[in-house]
A and B are shown apart, each in its own frame.
Chain A
Amino acid sequence: MSFFEKYRQYQDFAFADYFRSLGDGDIQRIIQKDRLSELDYLALLSPAAEAHLEEMARRAHGLTVRHFGRSILLYTPIYLANHCVNRCVYCGFAVHNAIPRTRLTLEEVAAEAQLIAATGLKHVLILTGESRKHSPVSYIKDCVGVLKKYFSSIGIEIYPLEEEEYRELVDAGVDGLTLYQEVYHPAVYDRLHPAGPKKNYAFRLDAPERACRAGVRTVNVGALLGLHDWRSEAFFTGLHASYLQNKYGHLEVSISPPRMRPHGGDFEPVEKVRDKNLVQYILAYRLFMPRGGISLSTRESAFLRDHLLPLGITKMSAGSCTAVGGRCQPEAASQFAISDERDVPAMVDMLYRQGYQPVFKDWQTL
């Protein structure tokens, strides 16, 4: 079974009718439940639940402290290459955008790694665009070989691979996978990905599962909020995480709730996802998946990140840069504009001030 079968169970579900059927009593009862069903989760994503965000927040905070403690794992992305053959309408790296294309040499990878390692961070996430010609698996493997000397945990956020290729990277030292489906709705997905290998919805959807079979320890999934109705996309993201957790018991699963940011293209979000919506999504997911991680990137402002922190966040990026080699060459082209520009010491200070322990290391390659 693939997650697509789970998706299909709800494909024709009458979301609007279900939302209309919910009253305050339903929401209050669900907030107090120990285990939430899939439809309970959906109920907490409904407009009716918007009146109960404070109760949801109290419960979400308590669950997070119990299961994760007062600690936040800090990590940072490293962009290795921005060559891309896809035409995703919402992405700054898409092939039709006239930006300088580049790929780090292994020496440049080491130089970026040294700068990051000097900040104390030990978990990194490596990113590339989708170009098997410019950034083949062998190149990524070589980069992992370099990065292993500096970091205790390496995640990948690259194009979807075959199971055997994931295994190759796991053997090389990769322990985590981040892969956003971007849009779970197949027709919308098709429209937003007009050409390139990324057009293959099913290959992307099943990639986290292939990575699980290949032995990754952590998987982070997400929908890019703003591309389609956020409530249903949040619902399917949570279901995807739950599906993976149920099927691969050893997995440490997490979600990201990324919202569209300004980028080097002209696509505008189809839907404005408000701060209130983002909060509701985080809270509903926490109640549905009490032990699931939630990763919050520097796409969000410092103010918002500080306030989202106690609601259920478990991982945050710090000192981010979305340009290839951007730490060594500040003028390089970014995939999207980051919002929270704080460096690692500033994030550490903020966490301590809020009564949270900054964690730089939460795994080491065995």
Chain B
Amino acid sequence: MKDDLVIGGRPLTSRLFLGSGKFPSNRFIPKVLEASGAQVVTVAMRRVDTDFAEENVLQLIPKECLLMPNTSGARTAQEAVRIARLGRAAGCGDWVKIEVISDNKYLLPDNYETIKATEILAAEGFVVLPYMSPDLMAARELARAGAAAVMPLGAPIGSNRGLKTKELIRILIEEISLPVIVDAGIGRPSEAAEAMEMGAAAVLVNTAIASARDPVAMARAFGLAVAAGRAAYLAGTGATQQYASASSPLTGFLREE
């Protein structure tokens, strides 16, 4: 069965998105993409340095992969919009991951400014994937503003704490018709699988892979975990039960009349 994730008209066979920061060299990125099977990689525009041949990420990403610039460093909607436009002007395509962060202590996204930036950029024809705190009302606003997906955080960026916001993400998956991509906080392949079993459309991973002892092997593990989680979701996991079935059920007295 074909199970592509389609975003902005583009079909994707892999549901693992990668972040490109934090590697010992950007030359790791093609290897990590290959090992994981990921097709989408996000790159901070602030770091794109086309003059530094060895680390020029625009040259290092394989042509068949999709580069998604992000607006890391933006403190307001206005800054995010300017960074997104710079990215497009630099030949980075139409996709953009909006990051608006005015809190550098926890790196939590500013949903309000993110909605404003999404509205402007979607109107300009960008395929907008906003990074957000998992809040239902904000997600609805993002959908209304023209987002192509929403990217709620599982836990603060770089924390490797896993799906701490699980219940809120579950609500987004149930209520929002856009793809829900869990971004940030996932520390282990098992947590990526868990997000996929819940029905997340995809997950984005960076720190857990980049900070692993062997990033390429960890990338492979994440690729497998995401595929397994998705397969489990499609198979329909059996309902879990809190207690064993009682041998004398409370409604056992009912007889057919």
- Residues of chain A having any CB pair with chain B under 8 Å: 65-71, 120, 122, 217, 245-246, 249-253, 291, 352, 355-364, 366
Residues of chain B lying within 8 A (CB to CB) of residue A69: 21-23, 207, 210-211
Residues of chain B lying within 8 A (CB to CB) of residue A253: 104
Interface residues of B in 72-86 (CB under 8 A from A): 73, 75, 79, 82-83, 86
State A122–B48 Cα separation when bound (angstroms): 12
Stretch from B49-57, B136-144, B188-196, B242-250 at the A interface: B49-57
Tell whether B30 is near chain A: CB-to-CB under 8 Å: no
Q: Are B23 and A363 in contact (CB under 8 A)?
A: no
26 A-B pairs in the complex with CB atoms less than 8 angstroms apart: A66-B211, A67-B158, A69-B210, A71-B23, A122-B49, A245-B104, A245-B105, A249-B102, A250-B102, A250-B103, A252-B104, A352-B25, A356-B24, A357-B26, A358-B55, A359-B47, A359-B49, A360-B51, A360-B52, A361-B46, A361-B48, A361-B52, A363-B46, A364-B46, A366-B82, A366-B83
Residues of chain B lying within 8 A (CB to CB) of residue A291: 104-105, 107
Q: Are B24 and A364 in contact (CB under 8 A)?
A: no
Tell whether B14 is near chain A: CB-to-CB under 8 Å: no
Residues of chain B lying within 8 A (CB to CB) of residue A356: 24
Q: How far is the CB of A148 from chain B (nearest CB, A)?
A: 15
Q: Hey, what's the 0/1 contact readout for B9-25 against A, CB within 8 Å counting as 1? A: 00000000000011111
State A120–B55 Cα separation when bound (angstroms): 12
Q: How far is the CB of B255 from chain A (nearest CB, A)?
A: 58
Q: Are A246 and B105 in contact (CB under 8 A)?
A: yes
Residues of chain A lying within 8 A (CB to CB) of residue B45: 364
Q: Are A68 and B22 in contact (CB under 8 A)?
A: yes
Q: Are A362 and B46 in contact (CB under 8 A)?
A: yes
Tell whether B165 is near chain A: CB-to-CB under 8 Å: no
Residues of chain A lying within 8 A (CB to CB) of residue B102: 249-250
Interface residues of B in 169-204 (CB under 8 A from A): none
- The 8 A-B residue pairs with the shortest CB-CB distance, nearest first, are A69-B22, A361-B49, A250-B75, A70-B24, A249-B103, A355-B24, A250-B102, A366-B82
- Residues of chain B having any CB pair with chain A under 8 Å: 21-26, 45-49, 51-52, 55, 73, 75, 79, 82-83, 86, 101-105, 107, 158-160, 207, 210-211
Q: Which of A67, A246, A361 contacts B47 (CB 8 A)?
A: A361
Q: Are B22 and A362 in contact (CB under 8 A)?
A: no
Residues of chain A lying within 8 A (CB to CB) of residue B86: 364, 366
Residues of chain A lying within 8 A (CB to CB) of residue B26: 357
Q: Which of B23, B82, B159 contacts A357 (CB 8 A)?
A: B23
State A250–B104 Cα separation when bound (angstroms): 6
State A247–B24 Cα separation when bound (angstroms): 33
Residues of chain A lying within 8 A (CB to CB) of residue B104: 245, 249-253, 291
Residues of chain B lying within 8 A (CB to CB) of residue A245: 104-105
State A360–B159 Cα separation when bound (angstroms): 26
Residues of chain B lying within 8 A (CB to CB) of residue A122: 49, 51
Q: How far is the CB of A177 from chain B (nearest CB, A)?
A: 15
Q: How far is the CB of B16 from chain A (nearest CB, A)?
A: 19
Residues of chain B lying within 8 A (CB to CB) of residue A363: 46, 73
Q: How far is the CB of A293 from chain B (nearest CB, A)?
A: 10
State A70–B158 Cα separation when bound (angstroms): 13
Q: Are A70 and B23 in contact (CB under 8 A)?
A: yes
Q: Which of A71, A217, A246 contacts B22 (CB 8 A)?
A: A71
State A66–B207 Cα separation when bound (angstroms): 6
Residues of chain A lying within 8 A (CB to CB) of residue B46: 361-364
State A250–B106 Cα separation when bound (angstroms): 11
Q: Are B49 and A360 in contact (CB under 8 A)?
A: yes
Residues of chain A lying within 8 A (CB to CB) of residue B107: 291
* Known pairs A217-B73, A249-B105 / 15 extra A-B pairs, C-beta < 8 Å: A68-B22, A70-B211, A71-B22, A71-B23, A249-B104, A250-B104, A352-B25, A357-B24, A358-B55, A359-B55, A360-B49, A361-B47, A362-B46, A362-B47, A364-B86
Q: How far is the CB of B196 from chain A (nearest CB, A)?
A: 23
User: From B82, which residue of chain A is reached at the shortest CB distance?
Assistant: A366
User: From A153, which residue of chain B is reached at the shortest CB distance?
Assistant: B46
Residues of chain A lying within 8 A (CB to CB) of residue B83: 366
State A253–B104 Cα separation when bound (angstroms): 9
State A196–B26 Cα separation when bound (angstroms): 49
State A252–B51 Cα separation when bound (angstroms): 25
Q: How far is the CB of B88 from chain A (nearest CB, A)?
A: 14
User: From B22, which residue of chain A is reached at the shortest CB distance?
Assistant: A69
Q: Are B207 and A120 in contact (CB under 8 A)?
A: no
Q: How far is the CB of B103 from chain A (nearest CB, A)?
A: 4
Q: How far is the CB of A222 from chain B (nearest CB, A)?
A: 19
State A356–B22 Cα separation when bound (angstroms): 9
Residues of chain B lying within 8 A (CB to CB) of residue A68: 22
Q: Are A357 and B51 in contact (CB under 8 A)?
A: no
User: From A62, which residue of chain B is reached at the shortest CB distance?
Assistant: B211
Residues of chain B lying within 8 A (CB to CB) of residue A358: 55
Residues of chain A lying within 8 A (CB to CB) of residue B101: 250
Q: Are A120 and B52 in contact (CB under 8 A)?
A: yes
Residues of chain A lying within 8 A (CB to CB) of residue B49: 122, 359-361
